Structures are given as structure tokens and as C-alpha cells.
Amino acid sequence: MKVVKIINSSSTVISLLCLFSVFLYFGSKVDSIVTFYFQLFIKLGLAFGVVTLLIRYFKERKFDFSVLVSDVFFLVFFLLIIFNKNHSISFFKGNLSFVLGALFLFIREFSTLSINYKRKVLNPAQLFIISFLGIIFLGAFCLQLPNATTEKISFIDALFTATSAVCVTGLNVVDTEYTFTTFGKVIIMILIQIGGLGIMTFASYFSYFFKGSSSYENTLVLGELTSENKIGEVFRTIRKILILTSLIVLIGAVSIYFTTPSENFNSFLSHVFFSVFHSVSAFNNAGFSTLSAGVYDDTLRFNYSFQLIIACLIIFGGLGFPIVFNVIRFFKYKLNLLFNRFFDVKKVEHVPWVINLNTRIILITTFILLVVGTVVIYFFEYNGVLNGHNDFGKIVTAFFAAVTPRTAGFSSVNMADLSFPTIMFTILLMWIGASPASTGGGIKTSTFAIATLNFISLAKGKDRIEINRREVADISVRRAFAIISLSLAVIGLAVLILVKIEPDKNFIHLSFEAFSAFSTAGLSINLTPRFGEGGKIVLICLMFIGRISTLTLLIAIFRKTKYKNYKYPKEEILIN
């Protein structure tokens, strides 16, 4: 058994080294000799992986269909790479096959790794924070590789970019178009996707897929991270998230491709990469663009079809997966009712409240914010930044400007030319942000809605919040006001520090940057690149805290109090 454990551990280390060698190979200057040894190392790593795989089957004798299919695919892939003499199959003579082999080997070995997770050592909040920190620093290292940039950048700039990508913010201290190579932009895109869905979602699902099972303790942790109450539904929910994300990103990329003229690109591949990059960035509410001016670029500023597609991707990504799944379930239920009415095939069981209260609150709040935001921006900027657009263009641009502050970071107008009322309203939209369990940030729409409903309830003399014949739980109200208080405290402290270390900057502009970083909105009044190292570090901290949420940070710091079966006498405190 000890020999098997040593082989398993060695295979995991080798798979990690193979993946690491891929990044080093493409990120560094190489010649034919380096290429030869790179391919040889990957072949040896794959061979060792195959030996380990066969030993596992011989010792454990466990067969799961999905696992078996993936392992057979891995074996065939390995054999084609090793025995493809004279390059009879052209695909397997290039480096792409070795990259895919190294990636598949790493996922296969990492997923079968047994991790003895104990809550006494790390609670889910601490595990979540550590995973994000790890991917941020790994991303910063990759962005400093020679082939990742056209010219060397400082570690602070690499760390800022990696944090902005993983925290799906979109703030930049360097020009993404000219500073990063295609390899560097691919790294940024990968960091955005991992950060948008969460590193734990990826790791957990692939672990379940390749092992065919998961421990009860790990499933509990994933339930907390994915907001899934039913333990048996955790991995099904994760699978749905990955499938839905892939589908939406694919549809978005295809739509972007056909709404952007091919003559604006050097080649077919550059056009495809542009489409995929912006689809990933928009759905994950990241705000990164391969163009220096982003959507404000001359080729996109008046491309209203492109802006509407980006806006739709932002909205879908910002709604949150539980909301999207609930809406899909509602439409499936209605279609079944309609189908049954016309064909009378099978009686459909009546389901009350298909659309739950959480979905109703978030959808209504999102709709109100989008409509009010569009009207306000249209009114204040009609003769301002909207000037130069036709009537339809002004509506689309105003709508786009109302969508992007919801933590997306794209801008089709010059932010420095916005009027003061628009800037203040944009700050409010950024602070509210997207919805829970989404790719966006901010205090979340549900938090803002609960706070507003609480004001109305207090004004009516009610001691609880009631809506649609449902009562909002007290714990939800307490969490909402805790998040609001903590967010304002963190942003206020950050603004004070920025005012001190950046005395030459405008106070309102500094506040705008602080709200944008904390809410992972990514909008900037052309100020972020002009920050010194101190200001960049403050924004890095804000982006990180805003992404993981202040409440999660406090839960990670403080030990959870055990439930105590007693209550003290209640006493009211003078508030007003």
C-alpha cells in the first residue's frame, strides 16, 4: 500500500510539473533543442500517468462508467502521441497535442488526489480565500513570463492585473492591448473564467467526475460554497453551472463574431479570439478588453448590436445561477402545462411558487435598476456624452451605461466627460452591484432590496418584512445590514488612505475608484494607471475584499460560536 501511495503522490507531482513546463515553454524564448526536451518530458509524464492509472485499476478494481470513458480517452490520446510515427496524424505533431495531454494529465491526477479536509483546521470561508489567493499569485507569476508581455512589467503591475482578472474587476494599470501578448491575454482570460466561477467549483466538479464520488464532509463544504441546501444536489448544481456557462459563453462568442466586421481584424483566428475573450469577459462581469479603449474604441462605439450582446451577457452573468435555474424551471413548467393542454398526454402536477421569493425580489430589483439607470443617464447625458449618437443610439448607449456599473467594467463613453450627477448615480449602481451567487460583485441586489423593504416596513409600523404573502427571515435582514455597514466602512477607510497617499487626485475621482474596486465594477475615470504603488496596493486589497465579501472575511477570521440553548431578556435600544 505504501508503494501505491508513493506512486500516486509522484504522479500528482509529475502532472503538476508537466503543466508548469507548458507555461514555462510558451512563456519563455525557446529553440528546437528546448522543444525536443519539452515534448520528451511531457511524453514521460504521460507514460508515468498511464502506469499509475493501470495500477489503480488493478489494486482498487472499481469501475465507474464516466470515469472509465475518460480514462480510455486518456489512454488513446497517450498512444496517439507516443506511436504517431512519421506524423501520420498532423494534429499530434504539433505542441498543441502536448499541451492538451499535460492539461488532461494534471486534471486527472489532481482530481484523484485524496484531500482530508477538516473544518477544525479550515472553515469553508478560509478555504475559499486561500484558493483565490493562490490563483492570484500564480496568475501574477505567469503574467511576468517573458512571452506574456511585450515589455517587462513590475511585479505590482502583474499582481494588480492578476487580481483584477481573478476578482473579475477590469481595472487596469497597463494597456492590455499593447502590454500583453496573445499568450498573456490567454492567461488573463483563463484567470477571468476561474475567478468568475470560483476555483473551488472547477476543482470540486472534476474531482467528483474522475473519482466518481466525494466525501460527505467535502460535499457539505461545497454546499456552502455553491449555496445549495440539498446535499445530493451539490454536484448536479456544479455540473449545471459549468454546462450553462459554456453554453452562454459559446452563444455570446458566436454572436459577437457575426456583429463585428472581419475587416477590423488581421486574421480569422484574431477575430475568433476577440469574440471568445469578450464573451468570457462580459459573462463573468470582468470588463477586460483586448482593445485599449475597450467598447469606446472607434470600431465599437457605434456598434449598437455588439453593445446589446455584451449587455445581455453581463445581465445573465450578474443574475446569479440560482436565479437563472429557477427561471428555466419556471419556463419548463409552463411549457409542460401548455403541451398538456393541447395534447393531453400526461397530467402535469400543480407546483405552487415555481418562482420563489428570492428570484422575484432579484428580478424586480434588477429590472427597476436597469430602467431607472437608463432613464437617469439618458436625461443627464442627452447633450453630454450621448451627443453624437442618433436617437436609437442614445437609448442603447444609456442602457449600456446603466448595465455596466453593475460590476461589468465596460464603457462605451468617456468616463471623464460624465456630469457630476451621473458620476454619483454610477457610484450608487456600482455599490449595489449584481446578484448573489453570480459572477458580479457589490453589496448585491437582494441586500439593497431587503434594506429598502425594511425602511418601508418600519414606516408602516410593522415589526417584520412581508412581501408576496411571505416573511423575510430575520437572519437575512441582519446579514443585509451587516454587509452594508461593512462595505461602507471598508470603502471609507480606503478613501481616507487614498486621499493621504494620492493628495494630487480629486476626492470624488478617488471615491469613484474605491467604489469601483470594492464592487469589482472595473470602471475608472482614467485614474487607475496614474496611481503610485501605494494606491495600487490599496485597490488590490479592495478588489480582493470586494470579491470574497467582507462578511466572508470576518467569518474566516473569527471562530464560529457554538449554539447555546438559552436566551437573555430582550431590551430595546434608543435609535431615533
Helices (H), 262-409: 268-283, 304-319, 321-343, 357-380, 391-403
- For Cα atoms 11, 13, 14, give the angle at the middle one, nearest 5 degrees: 65
Which band of pLDDT confidence, cut at 50, 70 and 90, is reported for residue 88?
very low
Q: The C-alpha cell of 310 is what?
A: 455584451
C-alpha cell at 21: 513546463
pLDDT digits (tens, 9 = 90+) for 32-78: 787 777 878 877 887 887 777 777 767 665 555 556 666 676 677 66
Q: Which residue did the predictor score with more confidence, 71 or 416?
A: 416
Q: What is the mean pLDDT of the chain?
A: 81
The pLDDT assigned to 92 comes to 46
Residues in contact with 389: Cβ distance below 8 Å, sequence separation at least 6, in sequence order: 302, 396, 397
* pLDDT band of 30, cuts 50, 70, 90: confident
Q: How far is the C-alpha of 371 from the C-alpha of 391, rounded, in Å? A: 17
Q: What pLDDT does 87 receive?
A: 47
C-alpha distances in angstroms, 124 versus 25, 106, 117, 392, 443?
35, 24, 10, 48, 20
State how far the Cα of 249 lies from the Cα of 206, in Å rounded to an integer.
20
Contact 512, 495 (CB under 8 A): no
Give me the percent of the chain exceeding a pLDDT of 70: 80
Instruction: Considering only residues 167 and 333, tell me which one the structure prediction assigns the higher pLDDT.
Output: 167
Residue 87 is placed in which grid cell? 506524423
pTM above 0.75, yes or no: yes
> What pLDDT is recorded for position 66?
58
Q: What is the mean pLDDT of residues 232-236?
A: 61
* Cα–Cα distance measured from residue 29 to residue 446, given in angstroms and rounded to the nearest whole number: 50
Contacts of 243 (CB under 8 A, 6+ apart): none
- Rounded to whole angstroms, the Cα distance separating 129 from 141 reads 19
- Chain centroid to Cα 546, Å, comes to 13
Q: Which residues are CB-contacts of 8 (< 8 A; sequence separation ≥ 6)?
A: 52, 56, 112, 113
Please state the rounded mean pLDDT for residues 127-138. Answer: 86
Instruction: Break the chain into its structural domains and give their ranges.
Output: 1-114, 334-557
Per-residue pLDDT tens over the stretch 154-203: 999 999 999 999 998 889 999 988 999 988 999 999 899 888 877 556 55
pLDDT digits (tens, 9 = 90+) for 136-152: 999 999 899 888 898 88
- Cell reading at 262: 472581419
3-state secondary structure of 106: helix
- Whether residue 119 is predicted with pLDDT greater than 80 in this model: the reply is no
Least confident of 72-81, 285-294, 331-340, 471-480: 72-81
